[in-house]
């Protein structure tokens, strides 16, 4: 028999509804297909407009209504889970948004399982489960995949650890996952504030306050941006290496390491196991790389530097969807996060997917399983 499940991912830059169709048999449940629809902006943009928030979700629920056959709707559950965009709002605003979302869910023909904000840890582990489930890595002894998921406001890093590599970790970084007949130990951390948009905002603000009239090397020559009362401008050539250095100094390595080993911001992290576990980087890693580069050739960390340098030198080229002033900066940040933040070498192989086995790569499937 068929079973449907609806998950709404309320992210920092937009909301997306996923409708999963499963087939239930005696041996278990098999994912048959997924349909999804995305809208912008994210729920956090409606902090002072709960009616607008409700209206934006109603459009997504209407899409789900068209996908799920009417005879299945009353027994199909719908849940909304918000991520870093809402985590960054004051608690009173968070509650207003969740109440508006709950009203939208209650008005739908589906069974509401509520609206809530999930932790960065849950988001990261769900994304890791999605990738490893789609690649059939959970019920065998084959190596699991390490995942790096960069959103607009946070970035999640999850990988399997060995008893020795993870034994020194503080408890909130180490998780035991009981999956089918296996117990898997994983390291996870969600870097709130190190998503693409928050990291850019932080760097531009810090640079403007500290350097006022100095040229900002991440912008195209002659480009000016007004930040509050400060003018940020680049009078010189765009400089990829200088931009990477600024991210390293002001955004990524802002704390000293007080543990055996660290990732970004002095956060405890075992050495990234890229030799044992294939590394999958997605969301902004996919969107920005393949906006400027054709898919097909193998990807190594160095490709972000190569493409970044090309883009930084090609200041006047037309860019259809990425605003011109942020293209160089975004590629510099992706490269800096991988190298300065996670300690990956230029020669580390990456897989940068948008879909796996026909399904979109997001944490929503992992939360539905």
List, for residues 151-172, the tens digit of each pLDDT value: 999 999 999 998 788 889 998 9
Catalytic residue check, 295: no
Cα gap 106→109, rounded to integer Å: 8
Percentage with pLDDT > 70 across the chain: 97
Q: What average pLDDT does range 229-255 have in this prediction?
A: 91
DSSP-derived pairing of the beta strands 230-233 and 279-283: unpaired
Q: What average pLDDT does range 320-331 have in this prediction?
A: 72
What pLDDT was estimated at residue 43? 92
Q: Which fold has domain 118-369?
A: Nucleotidyltransferase; domain 5 (3.30.420)
For the segment(s) 2-117, the CATH number from 3.30.420.40, 3.20.20.140, 3.40.50.150, 3.40.50.1460 is 3.30.420.40
pTM assigned to the model: 0.92
pLDDT tens track for 78-123: 999 999 989 989 999 999 999 999 999 999 999 999 999 999 999 9
Residues in the chain: 369
Domain definitions of the chain by residue range: 2-117, 118-369
Phi, psi angles (nearest 5°) of residue 74: -65, -25
Cα gap 150→130, rounded to integer Å: 15
| Average pLDDT in the chain | 92
What pLDDT was estimated at residue 324? 60
In this structure, which long-range contacts are made by residues 56-60, counting pairs with CB atoms below 8 Å and at least 24 apart in sequence? 56/15, 57/8, 57/15, 57/100, 57/101, 57/104, 57/105, 58/104, 58/107, 60/8, 60/15, 60/16, 60/17
Q: Which residues, other chains included, contact 223 with Cβ-Cβ below 8 Å and sequence gap of 6+?
A: 233, 234, 324, 325
DSSP-derived pairing of the beta strands 15-25 and 2-10: antiparallel
| Cis peptide leading into residue 23 (ω within 30°) | no
C-beta of residue 340 within 8 angstroms of C-beta of residue 9: no
Q: For the chain, how many helices (H) and strands (E)?
A: 12, 16
Q: Where does the pLDDT of residue 323 fall: very low under 50, low under 70, confident under 90, or very high at 90 and above?
A: low
Cα gap 214→220, rounded to integer Å: 14
Q: Where does the pLDDT of residue 224 fall: very low under 50, low under 70, confident under 90, or very high at 90 and above?
A: confident
Q: Where does the pLDDT of residue 316 fall: very low under 50, low under 70, confident under 90, or very high at 90 and above?
A: very low
What pLDDT was estimated at residue 186? 96
Whether the per-residue pLDDT at 331 is higher than 80: the answer is: yes
Catalytic residue among 123, 198, 325, 330: 123
Q: What average pLDDT does range 195-218 have in this prediction?
A: 90
Q: What are the binding residues for ATP?
A: 152-156
Q: What are the binding residues?
A: 152-156
Q: What average pLDDT does range 299-303 have in this prediction?
A: 98
């Amino acid at each position: 028999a068929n079973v449907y499940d609806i998950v709404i991912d309320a992210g920092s830059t937009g909301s997306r509804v996923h409708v999963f169709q499963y087939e239930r048999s005696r041996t278990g449940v098999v994912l048959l297909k997924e349909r999804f629809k995305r809208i912008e902006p994210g729920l956090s943009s409606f902090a002072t407009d709960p009616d607008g928030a409700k209206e934006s979700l109603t459009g997504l629920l209407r899409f789900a209504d068209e996908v799920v056959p009417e005879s299945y709707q009353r027994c199909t559950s719908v849940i909304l889970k918000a991520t870093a965009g809402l985590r960054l709002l004051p608690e009173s605003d968070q509650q207003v948004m969740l109440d508006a979302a709950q009203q939208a869910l209650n008005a739908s023909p589906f069974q509401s399982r509520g609206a809530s904000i999930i932790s960065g840890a849950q988001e990261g582990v769900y994304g890791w489960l999605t990738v490893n489930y789609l690649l059939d890595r959970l019920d065998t002894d084959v190596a699991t995949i390490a995942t790096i998921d960069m959103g607009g406001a946070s970035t999640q890093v999850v990988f399997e650890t060995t008893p020795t590599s993870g034994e020194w970790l503080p408890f909130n970084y180490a998780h035991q996952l009981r999956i089918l007949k296996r117990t898997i130990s994983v390291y996870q951390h969600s870097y709130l504030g190190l998503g693409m948009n928050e990291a850019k905002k932080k760097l531009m603000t810090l640079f403007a306050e500290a350097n006022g009239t100095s040229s900002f090397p991440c912008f195209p020559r002659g480009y000016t941006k007004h930040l509050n009362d400060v003018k940020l401008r680049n009078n010189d050539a765009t400089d990829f290496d200088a931009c990477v250095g600024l991210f390293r100094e002001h955004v990524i390595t802002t704390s000293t390491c007080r543990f055996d080993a660290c990732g970004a911001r002095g956060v405890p992290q075992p050495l990234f196991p890229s030799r044992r576990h294939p590394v999958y980087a997605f969301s902004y890693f996919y969107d920005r790389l393949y906006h400027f580069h054709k898919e097909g050739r193998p990807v190594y960390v160095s490709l972000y530097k190569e493409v970044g340098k090309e883009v930084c030198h090609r200041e006047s080229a037309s860019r259809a969807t990425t605003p011109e002033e942020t293209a160089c900066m975004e590629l510099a940040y992706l490269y800096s996060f991988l190298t300065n933040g996670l300690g990956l070498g230029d020669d580390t192989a990456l897989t940068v997917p948008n879909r796996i086995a026909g399904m979109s790569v997001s944490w929503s499937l992992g939360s539905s399983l």
